[in-house]
Chain A
Amino acid sequence: MRIKSPVMTKNDDIAAENRRAFGFNGILAFNIISSPGAGKTTLLEALAAEFGPEMAVIEGDVKTRRDADRIIRAGCRAVQIETGGSCHLDAAAVKEAFSSLDKKKPFRYLAIENVGNLICPSAYDLGEHIKVGMLSLPEGDDKVLKYPSLFSRIDMLLLTKTDLLPHMEFDMDRVENECRSLNPGVKTFRISARTGEGMADLCAFLRGRWESL
Protein backbone atom coordinates (compact mmCIF):
# COMPACT_ATOMS: atom_id res chain seq x y z
CA MET A 1 0.00 0.00 0.00
CA ARG A 2 1.54 3.26 -1.13
CA ILE A 3 1.70 6.05 1.46
CA LYS A 4 4.56 8.33 0.42
CA SER A 5 4.29 10.69 3.40
CA PRO A 6 7.26 12.80 4.51
CA VAL A 7 8.09 11.98 8.10
CA MET A 8 8.99 15.56 9.04
CA THR A 9 5.68 17.05 7.84
CA LYS A 10 4.26 17.68 11.30
CA ASN A 11 7.42 19.38 12.56
CA ASP A 12 7.79 21.37 9.36
CA ASP A 13 4.18 22.58 9.52
CA ILE A 14 4.66 23.82 13.09
CA ALA A 15 7.99 25.39 12.11
CA ALA A 16 6.16 27.31 9.34
CA GLU A 17 3.62 28.50 11.95
CA ASN A 18 6.48 29.64 14.17
CA ARG A 19 8.11 31.52 11.29
CA ARG A 20 4.85 33.33 10.56
CA ALA A 21 4.40 34.18 14.25
CA PHE A 22 7.95 35.52 14.51
CA GLY A 23 7.42 37.64 11.39
CA PHE A 24 4.03 38.89 12.60
CA ASN A 25 5.66 40.09 15.81
CA GLY A 26 8.60 41.69 13.97
CA ILE A 27 11.10 39.25 15.44
CA LEU A 28 14.28 37.89 13.85
CA ALA A 29 14.84 34.34 15.12
CA PHE A 30 18.13 32.47 15.07
CA ASN A 31 18.79 28.87 16.08
CA ILE A 32 22.27 28.20 17.46
CA ILE A 33 23.63 24.68 17.11
CA SER A 34 26.97 23.45 18.42
CA SER A 35 28.53 20.75 20.55
CA PRO A 36 28.32 21.20 24.34
CA GLY A 37 30.83 23.74 25.61
CA ALA A 38 31.40 25.60 22.34
CA GLY A 39 30.28 28.84 23.98
CA LYS A 40 26.65 29.27 22.97
CA THR A 41 25.54 30.68 26.31
CA THR A 42 28.62 32.87 26.65
CA LEU A 43 27.91 34.29 23.20
CA LEU A 44 24.31 34.97 24.21
CA GLU A 45 25.48 36.74 27.37
CA ALA A 46 27.61 38.98 25.15
CA LEU A 47 24.64 39.59 22.82
CA ALA A 48 22.48 40.33 25.88
CA ALA A 49 24.95 43.06 26.86
CA GLU A 50 24.49 44.57 23.40
CA PHE A 51 20.76 44.06 22.81
CA GLY A 52 19.40 44.01 26.38
CA PRO A 53 15.60 43.79 26.46
CA GLU A 54 15.50 43.84 22.63
CA MET A 55 16.41 40.14 22.77
CA ALA A 56 14.69 37.12 24.28
CA VAL A 57 16.18 33.67 24.54
CA ILE A 58 14.79 30.15 24.44
CA GLU A 59 17.23 27.81 26.10
CA GLY A 60 17.31 24.09 25.32
CA ASP A 61 19.02 21.61 27.61
CA VAL A 62 18.37 18.08 28.73
CA LYS A 63 18.24 19.22 32.35
CA THR A 64 18.54 22.30 34.62
CA ARG A 65 17.65 25.99 34.31
CA ARG A 66 21.28 27.03 34.53
CA ASP A 67 21.50 28.63 31.08
CA ALA A 68 18.22 30.55 31.38
CA ASP A 69 19.36 31.88 34.76
CA ARG A 70 22.62 33.08 33.19
CA ILE A 71 20.75 34.89 30.40
CA ILE A 72 18.34 36.55 32.85
CA ARG A 73 21.30 37.73 34.92
CA ALA A 74 22.79 39.16 31.72
CA GLY A 75 19.69 41.29 31.18
CA CYS A 76 17.38 39.41 28.80
CA ARG A 77 14.21 37.45 29.13
CA ALA A 78 14.72 33.71 28.87
CA VAL A 79 12.59 30.58 28.80
CA GLN A 80 14.17 27.24 29.61
CA ILE A 81 13.13 24.06 27.81
CA GLU A 82 14.25 20.92 29.62
CA THR A 83 13.95 18.12 27.07
CA GLY A 84 14.29 15.43 29.74
CA GLY A 85 16.52 13.28 27.55
CA SER A 86 15.81 14.29 24.00
CA CYS A 87 18.90 15.32 22.06
CA HIS A 88 17.34 18.20 20.10
CA LEU A 89 14.63 20.86 20.14
CA ASP A 90 11.66 20.50 17.83
CA ALA A 91 9.26 23.09 16.46
CA ALA A 92 6.46 22.19 18.89
CA ALA A 93 8.68 22.79 21.93
CA VAL A 94 9.75 26.16 20.53
CA LYS A 95 6.14 27.11 19.78
CA GLU A 96 5.17 26.44 23.39
CA ALA A 97 8.18 28.34 24.77
CA PHE A 98 7.54 31.29 22.44
CA SER A 99 3.91 31.47 23.55
CA SER A 100 5.06 31.95 27.14
CA LEU A 101 7.02 35.10 26.27
CA ASP A 102 5.09 38.31 26.91
CA LYS A 103 4.65 40.02 23.52
CA LYS A 104 3.28 43.18 25.16
CA LYS A 105 6.90 43.93 25.96
CA PRO A 106 8.13 43.75 22.37
CA PHE A 107 11.53 42.43 21.38
CA ARG A 108 13.39 42.22 18.07
CA TYR A 109 15.59 39.19 18.39
CA LEU A 110 14.77 35.66 19.48
CA ALA A 111 17.81 33.48 20.11
CA ILE A 112 17.15 29.76 20.37
CA GLU A 113 19.99 27.86 22.00
CA ASN A 114 19.62 24.27 20.89
CA VAL A 115 20.70 21.23 22.89
CA GLY A 116 24.47 20.80 22.59
CA ASN A 117 24.86 18.30 19.76
CA LEU A 118 26.30 18.53 16.24
CA ILE A 119 24.06 15.85 14.73
CA CYS A 120 20.43 15.60 15.81
CA PRO A 121 19.36 19.29 15.96
CA SER A 122 20.37 19.77 12.32
CA ALA A 123 17.38 17.75 11.08
CA TYR A 124 14.73 19.94 12.75
CA ASP A 125 13.46 23.23 11.36
CA LEU A 126 12.29 25.35 14.32
CA GLY A 127 10.97 28.23 12.23
CA GLU A 128 14.14 30.29 12.59
CA HIS A 129 15.28 32.82 10.01
CA ILE A 130 18.97 32.02 10.54
CA LYS A 131 20.36 28.59 11.33
CA VAL A 132 23.70 29.14 13.05
CA GLY A 133 26.44 26.51 13.34
CA MET A 134 29.08 27.26 15.92
CA LEU A 135 32.51 25.67 16.24
CA SER A 136 34.99 26.63 18.94
CA LEU A 137 38.73 26.45 18.42
CA PRO A 138 39.38 23.78 21.10
CA GLU A 139 37.15 21.36 19.16
CA GLY A 140 39.65 21.18 16.30
CA ASP A 141 39.64 22.39 12.71
CA ASP A 142 38.66 19.03 11.19
CA LYS A 143 35.01 18.95 12.25
CA VAL A 144 33.13 20.43 9.30
CA LEU A 145 33.41 17.41 6.98
CA LYS A 146 32.82 15.05 9.91
CA TYR A 147 29.39 16.61 10.54
CA PRO A 148 28.18 17.55 7.06
CA SER A 149 24.48 17.31 7.85
CA LEU A 150 24.79 20.38 10.07
CA PHE A 151 27.39 22.40 8.21
CA SER A 152 25.64 21.95 4.85
CA ARG A 153 22.38 23.41 6.22
CA ILE A 154 23.53 26.44 8.18
CA ASP A 155 23.15 30.05 7.09
CA MET A 156 25.89 31.30 9.40
CA LEU A 157 29.13 29.78 10.71
CA LEU A 158 30.55 31.19 13.93
CA LEU A 159 34.12 30.33 14.84
CA THR A 160 34.31 31.04 18.56
CA LYS A 161 36.97 31.39 21.25
CA THR A 162 39.34 33.02 18.76
CA ASP A 163 41.25 34.48 21.72
CA LEU A 164 42.70 30.97 22.19
CA LEU A 165 44.30 30.93 18.74
CA PRO A 166 47.86 31.66 20.01
CA HIS A 167 47.67 28.58 22.20
CA MET A 168 46.66 25.99 19.62
CA GLU A 169 47.04 24.86 16.05
CA PHE A 170 43.79 25.72 14.36
CA ASP A 171 43.40 26.72 10.72
CA MET A 172 40.37 29.01 10.50
CA ASP A 173 40.69 29.27 6.71
CA ARG A 174 40.45 25.47 6.47
CA VAL A 175 37.21 25.42 8.45
CA GLU A 176 35.64 28.21 6.43
CA ASN A 177 36.72 26.72 3.09
CA GLU A 178 35.43 23.27 4.01
CA CYS A 179 32.14 24.78 5.14
CA ARG A 180 31.83 26.64 1.82
CA SER A 181 32.52 23.38 -0.01
CA LEU A 182 29.29 22.03 1.48
CA ASN A 183 27.46 25.28 1.58
CA PRO A 184 28.66 28.03 -0.79
CA GLY A 185 26.37 30.74 0.58
CA VAL A 186 27.32 30.47 4.24
CA LYS A 187 28.08 33.70 6.13
CA THR A 188 31.06 33.41 8.48
CA PHE A 189 32.22 35.30 11.55
CA ARG A 190 35.27 34.85 13.75
CA ILE A 191 34.47 35.90 17.28
CA SER A 192 35.54 35.88 20.88
CA ALA A 193 32.71 36.62 23.27
CA ARG A 194 35.31 37.02 26.00
CA THR A 195 37.47 39.70 24.33
CA GLY A 196 34.72 41.11 22.11
CA GLU A 197 36.62 40.36 18.87
CA GLY A 198 34.19 40.17 15.96
CA MET A 199 31.13 40.94 18.09
CA ALA A 200 30.50 44.36 16.55
CA ASP A 201 30.37 42.85 13.06
CA LEU A 202 28.02 40.10 14.21
CA CYS A 203 25.68 42.55 15.95
CA ALA A 204 25.69 44.83 12.91
CA PHE A 205 24.78 41.89 10.70
CA LEU A 206 21.88 40.89 12.98
CA ARG A 207 20.60 44.47 13.08
CA GLY A 208 20.73 44.58 9.29
CA ARG A 209 18.80 41.32 9.01
CA TRP A 210 16.17 42.60 11.44
CA GLU A 211 15.76 45.79 9.42
CA SER A 212 15.23 43.76 6.24
CA LEU A 213 12.54 41.52 7.79
Chain B
Amino acid sequence: MHEYSLAQDMAEVIISALGGPRTLSTVTVVIGPLSGVSGESLAFCFTEIASARGLGRPELVVRKTRAEMRCTRCGHVWHSDDFSPGCPACGSWDRRIVSGREFFVESVELDGEDADEDQVTSDDEE
Protein backbone atom coordinates (compact mmCIF):
# COMPACT_ATOMS: atom_id res chain seq x y z
CA MET B 1 0.00 0.00 0.00
CA HIS B 2 2.01 2.97 -1.26
CA GLU B 3 -0.68 5.31 0.08
CA TYR B 4 1.15 5.19 3.43
CA SER B 5 4.21 6.76 1.76
CA LEU B 6 1.99 9.19 -0.14
CA ALA B 7 0.27 10.26 3.09
CA GLN B 8 3.69 11.07 4.53
CA ASP B 9 4.52 13.08 1.42
CA MET B 10 1.19 14.91 1.77
CA ALA B 11 2.00 15.89 5.34
CA GLU B 12 5.37 17.20 4.16
CA VAL B 13 3.79 19.22 1.33
CA ILE B 14 1.28 20.77 3.73
CA ILE B 15 3.87 21.65 6.38
CA SER B 16 6.06 23.21 3.71
CA ALA B 17 3.19 25.30 2.34
CA LEU B 18 2.15 26.44 5.82
CA GLY B 19 5.71 27.21 6.91
CA GLY B 20 5.39 24.74 9.76
CA PRO B 21 2.87 22.43 11.39
CA ARG B 22 -0.57 23.92 12.15
CA THR B 23 -3.67 22.28 13.55
CA LEU B 24 -6.01 21.41 10.70
CA SER B 25 -9.67 20.43 10.60
CA THR B 26 -9.85 19.40 6.94
CA VAL B 27 -7.50 18.53 4.10
CA THR B 28 -8.86 18.31 0.56
CA VAL B 29 -6.94 16.24 -1.93
CA VAL B 30 -7.61 15.87 -5.66
CA ILE B 31 -7.11 12.42 -7.17
CA GLY B 32 -7.34 11.60 -10.86
CA PRO B 33 -8.67 8.19 -11.90
CA LEU B 34 -5.41 7.31 -13.68
CA SER B 35 -3.12 8.33 -10.81
CA GLY B 36 -2.96 4.85 -9.30
CA VAL B 37 -3.86 6.33 -5.90
CA SER B 38 -6.70 4.92 -3.80
CA GLY B 39 -8.57 7.63 -1.90
CA GLU B 40 -9.95 5.04 0.49
CA SER B 41 -6.49 3.70 1.37
CA LEU B 42 -5.19 7.24 1.73
CA ALA B 43 -7.99 8.19 4.13
CA PHE B 44 -7.23 5.07 6.15
CA CYS B 45 -3.75 6.24 7.09
CA PHE B 46 -3.64 10.02 6.52
CA THR B 47 -5.27 11.20 9.76
CA GLU B 48 -2.86 9.18 11.91
CA ILE B 49 0.18 10.38 9.98
CA ALA B 50 -1.05 13.99 10.11
CA SER B 51 -1.47 13.67 13.86
CA ALA B 52 2.05 12.33 14.28
CA ARG B 53 3.39 15.29 12.25
CA GLY B 54 1.65 17.91 14.44
CA LEU B 55 -1.25 18.68 12.09
CA GLY B 56 -4.04 17.70 14.48
CA ARG B 57 -6.52 15.09 13.32
CA PRO B 58 -7.86 16.52 10.05
CA GLU B 59 -10.61 14.90 8.07
CA LEU B 60 -9.45 13.93 4.57
CA VAL B 61 -11.81 15.03 1.82
CA VAL B 62 -11.13 13.32 -1.50
CA ARG B 63 -12.23 15.10 -4.66
CA LYS B 64 -12.14 12.71 -7.60
CA THR B 65 -11.75 14.07 -11.10
CA ARG B 66 -12.43 12.46 -14.48
CA ALA B 67 -9.78 11.69 -17.05
CA GLU B 68 -9.74 13.48 -20.39
CA MET B 69 -8.58 11.64 -23.48
CA ARG B 70 -8.12 12.76 -27.06
CA CYS B 71 -8.16 10.39 -30.01
CA THR B 72 -5.15 11.08 -32.20
CA ARG B 73 -6.91 9.43 -35.16
CA CYS B 74 -10.22 11.34 -35.32
CA GLY B 75 -9.73 14.09 -32.73
CA HIS B 76 -12.67 13.04 -30.56
CA VAL B 77 -12.34 14.12 -26.92
CA TRP B 78 -14.00 12.14 -24.16
CA HIS B 79 -14.05 11.84 -20.38
CA SER B 80 -13.70 8.66 -18.42
CA ASP B 81 -13.45 7.29 -14.90
CA ASP B 82 -10.90 4.68 -15.92
CA PHE B 83 -8.64 3.51 -18.71
CA SER B 84 -11.39 2.96 -21.25
CA PRO B 85 -10.03 0.81 -24.05
CA GLY B 86 -10.45 3.03 -27.06
CA CYS B 87 -12.09 5.99 -28.76
CA PRO B 88 -15.89 5.79 -28.42
CA ALA B 89 -16.28 7.56 -31.77
CA CYS B 90 -13.96 5.59 -34.08
CA GLY B 91 -12.68 2.71 -31.92
CA SER B 92 -9.03 3.63 -32.41
CA TRP B 93 -6.52 2.83 -29.67
CA ASP B 94 -4.36 5.76 -30.64
CA ARG B 95 -5.23 8.26 -27.96
CA ARG B 96 -3.47 10.75 -25.79
CA ILE B 97 -4.16 11.02 -22.07
CA VAL B 98 -4.76 14.75 -21.55
CA SER B 99 -5.43 14.56 -17.83
CA GLY B 100 -6.33 12.06 -15.15
CA ARG B 101 -3.03 11.35 -13.39
CA GLU B 102 -3.25 14.39 -11.11
CA PHE B 103 -2.70 13.98 -7.38
CA PHE B 104 -2.37 17.14 -5.33
CA VAL B 105 -3.32 18.75 -2.06
CA GLU B 106 -5.90 21.34 -3.04
CA SER B 107 -6.61 23.08 0.25
CA VAL B 108 -6.57 22.86 4.03
CA GLU B 109 -8.80 24.34 6.71
CA LEU B 110 -7.19 25.50 9.93
CA ASP B 111 -8.76 24.41 13.17
CA GLY B 112 -9.55 26.49 16.30
CA GLU B 113 -7.00 29.14 17.30
CA ASP B 114 -4.83 28.38 14.28
CA ALA B 115 -7.68 29.54 12.05
CA ASP B 116 -7.53 33.05 13.55
CA GLU B 117 -3.85 33.54 12.79
CA ASP B 118 -2.40 34.87 9.58
CA GLN B 119 -2.85 32.53 6.68
CA VAL B 120 -0.09 31.34 4.43
CA THR B 121 -0.58 30.33 0.83
CA SER B 122 1.52 28.63 -1.78
CA ASP B 123 1.02 29.02 -5.51
CA ASP B 124 2.85 25.90 -6.63
CA GLU B 125 1.66 24.85 -10.03
CA GLU B 126 -0.26 21.69 -10.54
Which residues of A does B touch, CB under 8 Å?
1-11, 86-88, 90, 119-120, 122-124, 145, 148-150, 152, 178, 180-182, 184
| CA of A6 to CA of B103, assembled, Å | 6
Interface residues of B, count at CB 8 A: 42
A6 / chain B contacts, CB cutoff of 8 Å: 13, 102-104, 124, 126
B94 at the interface (CB under 8 A from A): yes
Instruction: Give the shortest distance, in Å, between A161 (CB) and chain B (any CB).
Output: 26
| The residue from A1, A10, A120, A180 contacting B108, defined by CB atoms under 8 A apart | A1
A-B contact pairs, 28 of them (CB 8 A): A1-B119, A2-B106, A3-B13, A4-B104, A4-B105, A4-B122, A4-B123, A4-B125, A5-B122, A6-B13, A6-B104, A6-B124, A7-B10, A7-B103, A8-B9, A9-B13, A10-B9, A11-B9, A90-B5, A119-B36, A123-B6, A123-B35, A145-B83, A145-B85, A149-B34, A149-B36, A181-B85, A184-B93
At the interface, is chain A mostly helix, strand, loop or mixed? mixed
Which residues of B does A touch, CB under 8 Å?
1-2, 5-6, 9-10, 12-14, 16-17, 29, 34-37, 72, 82-83, 85-86, 93-95, 97, 102-110, 119-126
